Amino acid sequence: MTGAGGGSGSVAIALLSKLGYRVVASTGRAEETAYLRDLGAVEVIDRRTLSEPGAPTGNERWAGAIDSVGSHTLANVLAQTRYRGAVAAFGLAQGMDLPGSVLPFILRNVTLAGIDSVNAPQDVRLAAWSRLATDLDLGKLARATQVVGLADVPGLAEPVLRGQVRGRTVMDVSA
């Protein structure tokens, strides 16, 4: 999971670990290692190992991956995904470019799946929400969530943009 310390990354780690996967979390925040392990990551790696330009293919490290970062990170993840593995891409925290090659697709049969939640059809949403009801540990969700009031939002903007806010931030509009 790339962008592991973010809101989506935190939820994905909790889900994948509950489903029995051995989750590796890529983060720029080593200080959040205990948090990521609590969510279910068995290994935490420095995101700089994925964020620089890399080779078209590399050692096969990942059975599958979920990427919230894009750019060189996604290209490197694809290059390191094992034969017939799959990568789901839904974010662009590093950038919207994809500076890689077709080799992972044509030599290793890797699948790149695009994820869009905004226009997801209702039946897909219902299926996803049903899976969240059964597959998401609510204790972990609570530990990955901070609730703020409207008045807190201006003060949170800078830390969010600097990548200093971990997990999800839920705005309680009545607070």
Ligand X SMILES: NC(=O)c1ccc[n+]([C@@H]2O[C@H](COP(=O)([O-])OP(=O)(O)OC[C@H]3O[C@@H](n4cnc5c(N)ncnc54)[C@H](OP(=O)(O)O)[C@@H]3O)[C@@H](O)[C@H]2O)c1
Dist CA 48 CA 119 (whole Å): 32
Interactions with ligand X, residue window 45-84 (CB under 6 A): 47, 51, 68-69, 73
Could you give the C-alpha distances from 89 to 81, 117, 147, in angstroms and in order?
A: 13, 12, 27
Nearer to ligand X, 138 or 160 (CB): 160
CA atoms within 13 A on the CB side of 38: 13
* Closest to 162 (Cα-Cα) out of 28, 69, 23: 28
Please report how close the Cβ of residue 107 comes to ligand X at its closest, in angstroms: 26
Identity of the residue, 32 or 81, whose beta carbon is nearer to ligand X in the bound complex: 32
Q: How far apart (Å, rounded) are the C-alpha atoms in residues 124 and 134?
A: 16
Q: Which of 13, 16, 27, 78 binds ligand X (CB under 6 A)?
A: 27
Which x/- pattern over 82-121 shows residues binding ligand X (rule: CB under 6 A)? --------xxxxx--------------------xxxx---
User: Residues interacting with ligand X, by CB under 6 A?
Assistant: 3-9, 27-29, 47, 51, 68-69, 73, 90-94, 115-118, 163
